Amino acid sequence: MSEPTKFLLREEQIPTHWVNLLPDLPGDPLPPLHPGTKQPAGPDDLTPIFPMGLILQEVAQEPEVEIPEEVRQAYGLWRPTPLFRARRLEKALGTQTRIYYKYEGVSPAGSHKPNTAVPQAYENAKAGVKKLSTETGAGQWGSSLAFACSLFGLDCEVFMVGSSYDQKPYRRSMMQTWGATVHRSPSELTQSGKANAEHPTGSLGIAISEAVEVAAQDPDCNYSLGSVLNHVLLHQTVIGQEAILQMELAGDEPDVVIGCVGGGSNFAGLAFPFLRAGSKARFVAAEPAACPTLTRGVYSYDFGDTAGLTPLMPMYTLGHDFVPPPVHAGGLRYHGDSPIVCALVKQGLVEARAYKQNETFEAALRFARTEAILPAPEAAHAIRAVLEEAEAAKQAGEQRTILLNLSGHGHFDMSAYEAYLAGELEDPEFSEADMEAALERLPEAPAIA
Ligand SMILES: Cc1ncc(COP(=O)(O)O)c(C=O)c1O
């Protein structure tokens, strides 16, 4: 065929190392702070809930970290993932711009999340841990960890954000099929859950508090986080490394790299290897207008969870106890973001944009009706940004190259599609007043510039 649609790699081309962007950031990195003392948190402060293997990755200063062979073997179940040229979408848009997407929905759980679930389960099993507890928003992360725990013989306990638990019953069945136990959050099982009973839709912040509490009280149980932390972003860089090789196969280079941002891991996974390689591209992060952390939040130290159990991290935040409205992109309902991604936004190296739910689903349908894949609602935010970028190129009379991270499929999000198709999807308003109130409760910590 003269016009290929897919650019594929061989299994031996699965990367051997992860890309660590920490040493590339200008200036001294701002350390996380201990939630009690507010002093810089060292590796020892993290040992109650994380294995040393992951803590060392969290603070690693080497530009690359080797991927253990067992993890590469497990990656072989679905990696390398395909890169597609969106020829049908381009044609429908009538654009000269070339659009590519890296599709992470081919993983067993249906998103990029197993890229980090597998090494996290591996390091915990190696350290003799018996069980992992975690939170899940959309259910993608909980399913991924349930799958990874099943690979390495670990028990898995998942606190699922209430609104998603109700919207996505089959995500719950999927986790249970892989052997996990699933609770609706806020639950009656933890102090943090009981303290938040007045927020029945839940939030990622509350669910994280519940899962951390369970891990902190059980010596055989560790906690596992699906985004935000440095080691999680590190694991995701297999995406961008493969994409660089695949863009070479296509004989093209991106002018714009786009991903959605919940905690920042799929965006980072695609973007960081391009940043490391000195790419000339612009980097665009897409988030929900109902939870606009990067576009409306303040840059400050804040807790990663609602109850204030995690270390304080330097990031854009809407306030740790801000409860975002229940949009369908559950994986993007988080009050903060990865400190590394936030630092890049602060430095102007990454542009952030926020989109409403209906315009996002309009983009999702446009994509499904041309490229055939039903995108996850989270990924649809990035597709919305692609449509805007393609239009901007057309207006400028330029032919640009856009690279999108299609982080997952939406096969378990059909209630959201159904609501959109019935014209019943709402555009919940972000409440400035709620954010201001939550920001009043930011913890005392050194100011950051
Ligand atoms: C399909 C999908 N994309 C994106 C995200 C957002 O997370 P992150 O910003 O860490 O990639 C999620 C989170 O659950 C998700 O399920």
Residues ≥6 apart with Cβ < 8 Å to 45: 34, 311
Confidence of residue 40 (pLDDT cuts 50, 70, 90): very high
Give distance in angstroms: CA of 395 to centre of ligand 1: 31
Among 325, 345, 207, smallest CA distance to 264 is for 345
What tokens appear for 402 in the block? 């856009």
CA-closest residue to ligand 1 atom 10: 265
User: In this predicted structure, what is the pLDDT of residue 335?
Assistant: 93
Q: Please determine, for residue 1, whether its predicted confidence score (pLDDT) is greater than 80.
A: no
User: In this predicted structure, what is the pLDDT of residue 244?
Assistant: 98
How far is the C-alpha of 59 from the C-alpha of 191, rounded, in Å? 30
User: In this predicted structure, what is the pLDDT of residue 329?
Assistant: 83
State the average pLDDT for the chain: 96
Strands 351-355 and 312-317 turn out to be: unpaired
User: In this predicted structure, what is the pLDDT of residue 237?
Assistant: 99
Average pLDDT over residues 171-196: 97
Give distance in angstroms: CA of 118 to centre of ligand 1: 16
* Phi–psi pair at 338, nearest 5 degrees: -50, 130
Most ligand 1 atoms within 8 A of CB, residue of 232, 265, 315, 367 to mutate:
265
Model confidence pTM above 0.95: yes
CB 288 within 8 A of CB 435: no
| CA triple 43-156-408, angle to 5 deg | 90
How far is the C-alpha of 395 from the C-alpha of 374, rounded, in Å? 28
Give distance in angstroms: CA of 202 to centre of ligand 1: 17
Strands 64-66 and 312-317 turn out to be: unpaired
Per-residue pLDDT tens digits for 272-296: 999 999 999 999 999 999 999 999 9
Give distance in angstroms: CA of 190 to centre of ligand 1: 26
Q: Please determine, for residue 373, whether its predicted confidence score (pLDDT) is greater than 90.
A: yes
Give distance in angstroms: CA of 397 to centre of ligand 1: 33
Q: Please determine, for residue 331, whether its predicted confidence score (pLDDT) is greater than 90.
A: no
CA-closest residue to ligand 1 atom 16: 140
In terms of C-beta density within 10 A (0-12 exposed, 13-18 middle, 19 or more buried), how is residue 13 classed? middle
Tokens 């159990």 sit on residue = 309
| CA triple 231-15-262, angle to 5 deg | 40
Q: How many CA atoms lie within 13 A of 429 on its CB side?
A: 4
CA-closest residue to ligand 1 atom 1: 408
Per-residue pLDDT tens digits for 335-372: 999 999 999 999 999 999 999 999 999 999 999 999 99
Give distance in angstroms: CA of 249 to centre of ligand 1: 27
Q: Please determine, for residue 2, whether its predicted confidence score (pLDDT) is greater than 80.
A: no
Residues in the chain, total: 449
Residues ≥6 apart with Cβ < 8 Å to 168: 138, 139, 330, 412, 413, 415
DSSP string, 372-437: ---B-HHHHHHHHHHHHHHHHHHHTT---EEEEEE-BB-TT-HHHHHHHHTT----PPP-HHHHHH
Give distance in angstroms: CA of 347 to centre of ligand 1: 23
**Atom nearest to 376 CA in ligand 1:** 1
User: In this predicted structure, what is the pLDDT of residue 255?
Assistant: 98
Pocket of ligand 1 (CB under 6 A): 111, 137-138, 140-141, 227, 260-267, 331-332, 376, 378-379, 407-408
74: three-class secondary structure by DSSP: helix
CA-closest residue to ligand 1 atom 4: 378
What tokens appear for 410 in the block? 């939406």
Confidence of residue 327 (pLDDT cuts 50, 70, 90): confident
Per-residue pLDDT tens digits for 46-99: 998 999 999 999 999 999 999 999 999 999 999 999 999 999 999 999 999 999
Strand ranges inside 87-154, DSSP E: 98-103, 131-136
Q: Please determine, for residue 404, whether its predicted confidence score (pLDDT) is greater than 80.
A: yes
Most ligand 1 atoms within 8 A of CB, residue of 103, 106, 113 to mutate:
113
Q: Which residues of 42-64 are buried (b: 16+ CB within 10 A; e: fewer)?
A: eeebbeebbbebbbebbbbeeeb
Per-residue pLDDT tens digits for 409-427: 999 999 999 999 999 999 9
Give distance in angstroms: CA of 149 to centre of ligand 1: 19
Give distance in angstroms: CA of 292 to centre of ligand 1: 15
CA-closest residue to ligand 1 atom 7: 262
Per-residue pLDDT tens digits for 100-137: 999 999 999 999 999 999 999 999 999 999 999 999 98
